Amino acid sequence: MFTPEKMSFVTLASPKNNLEKAIEVLYDLKLLHIDPHRGQDLPIGTPLPDAEALSRLSLDLGFVTSHLPPAAEAKAMDLREAERLVATLKAQVAAIVAEREALDQQSATLEKRVKDIAFLRATGLRDPSLLAGSRRLTVMAGIATAPRRVLTALRSLDVEVFSEEKRKDGYPMVVVSQAEEGDKVKAALAEAWIPYAFDHVDQNPGVHEKALDAVAARRKALDARLAELRKAHGKELAGCRRLLRERIRKAEAPLRFAVGEHSFLIAGWVPTAQTAAVQKQLGGLPSSYLAVEDALDGPTKLANPRAVRSFEFFLNLYSLPKLREIDPTFLVFLSFPIFYGMMLGDIGYGLALYALFSVLRWRMPKYRGLFDIFLLSSIFTVVFGYVFGEFFGAEEVLGIPLVPFIHRTHDVNELMLVSLVFGLVHVNLGFVFGFVNELRTHGLRKAILAKGSWMLLEAAGILLIVDFFFGMAFIDRTIGFGVVLLSVIMLFLGEGVIGLIEIPGLISSVLSYLRLAAVGLASASLAIVVNTMADDLFAAGGAFLAIGVLVLVMGHAINIMIGLIDAFLQSLRLHYVEMFTKFYGGNGKPYNPFGR
């Protein structure tokens, strides 16, 4: 529970003709995290012979599935079936797609024609043959965005202007002038003019629309055909995809193995508890050699009880522990909801959030783990709400008064003291974990010097503070200072100068837990403000009643949102920044076995 699962390092050496069999066995076992061979001594292997054909098939499948998305459910397929299906579908889909493209082009041309006719009609020009211009006449078509300015600019020139209807973007206009004045006209128009290019104008209103309808109908039929194909083959396509993914992974596996002229070598990690299965399965390969040894280094597979597992989320977000490092998930499981609950601490808010996250957990099964964290945190919010005697900021539930054990807005000093105690315990748990980590990796001496020194320093420091500030002497001051000096020397020996630099950091780490009281105080104060505002409105009566309800609902909703985010982030921060830094190394690689 406190360490990632134990791993064994497995090496298999075998004649080359066993390669495919070994890959099959390992794929089905789904246990070996391959240690990729990097090409020292022996070259890396080449993909299995069918890899190229599989890649090509996969490419074709990619084309087909880009138009026919596979179904969620997959039908089991073999390679022959997959090849046949992909070949037929590829031909059909390609034909449909090509026709669809042609139709799209056709419809674009037709739409342009319809637009041209409409434009011409708006200018009022009756004879489209004029648009072509001639040696003597220059014809310009466009949209005048500021018609008055255009007309003023054209006044001194010998032109004829056609324009009848206004459209949203301006006045469609055709300007006809003598060819020699064309440049002057162009200059005059430049200011408020969007040129319009005609494609082809004929006088067949209605024909193009009809043609467009036909194109659209045909396109719809093609889409329906695609949908039909998808419905008919969706499951098979999903099966193809799964099959190909598996086959390609198998075919490309030798790229991570060492393969010589006559033999190959596979190395990787297997959870120690499962080595027997690997030995049994691979033992069947003729004239092979299999070595299994305890791994000191390797991939990390967190091993926590089911209830705790959702909290592994925090480690995945941060960084996984190394194979032989402490896995703090269980501690996070214990302290995260407590910190969260202490900061939010309100029976009403806890119940509201519990309801909200129950619904979300049910609606979004993908994030179930995260919502489990929130649900547990909500329970602790209710618990601390009872301790603080708060229900939506009020000190009563439905007329029954709540008796707070600690009143958050009155007993601020007591609450801060409790926070500091939590902080001391939490930070010291970090040191204890660090001690164990050092003990495992560097031995007892280093553990005492590097982590024991911190705890010693803390103990002496607290006793001296109690002595100086509260007049309670438990030890002689000389001894106290002596111990402080001793622990500082030990710290220097254990962690070097960095350790000395971090001494003030220890104080700020512990004081940082004051946020448990501070964030809660802010949240409680906001709730009280909302309630007071609403009470005043209720007292005013009449129309204010409705506003009061609105203030109450909106105010508490906003406060819950703020509290939710703040409590989550602050609690997370206390773990990551204040506690993990005392022991956590991280940088572990996730265990990712071949075949899964």
> For binding to other proteins (CB under 8 A), which residues are involved?
317-319, 412-413, 416, 508, 511-512, 514-515, 518, 521-522, 569-570, 572-573, 576-577
Question: For tokens 């211009």, what's the residue?
Answer: 133
Distance CA(183)–CA(178), nearest Å, equals 10
Name 69's bridge partners.
Answer: none
Distance CA(34)–CA(175), nearest Å, equals 76
Q: 210-216: which pairs have CB atoms within 8 A and are 24 or more residues apart? A: 211/110, 212/107, 212/110, 212/111, 212/114, 215/103, 215/106, 215/107, 215/110, 216/107
Determine which helix (DSSP H) or strand (DSSP E) holds 75, and give its type and residue range.
none
Q: Dihedral (C-alpha) 338, 340, 343, 346: value to the nearest 10 degrees?
A: -90
* Other residues' Cβ atoms within 10 Å of the Cβ of residue 300: 26
Distance CA(172)–CA(195), nearest Å, equals 10
Q: Got the DSSP string for 523-545?
A: HHHHHHHHHHHHHHHHHH-TTHH
456 token code pair: 């010693």
Query: Angle, to 10 degrees, between the axis of helix 51-67 and the axis of helix 79-123?
Result: 40
Q: Judging by beta carbons within 10 Å of its beta carbon (0-12, 13-18, 19+), is residue 306 exposed, middle or buried?
A: exposed
Task: Give 583's DSSP letter.
Answer: T
Distance CA(435)–CA(452), nearest Å, equals 7
Instruction: Report whether 222 contacts 99 (CB < 8 A).
Output: yes
Determine which helix (DSSP H) or strand (DSSP E) holds 203, and give its type and residue range.
none
> Which CA distances in Å does 148 have to 151, 168, 170, 192, 194?
5, 16, 11, 10, 15
Q: Got the DSSP string for 408-445?
A: TTT-HHHHHHHHHHHHHHHHHHHHHHHHHHHHHHH-HH
* Other residues' Cβ atoms within 10 Å of the Cβ of residue 294: 10
Distance CA(501)–CA(161), nearest Å, equals 85
Distance CA(238)–CA(69), nearest Å, equals 8
Report the SS3 class of residue 72: coil
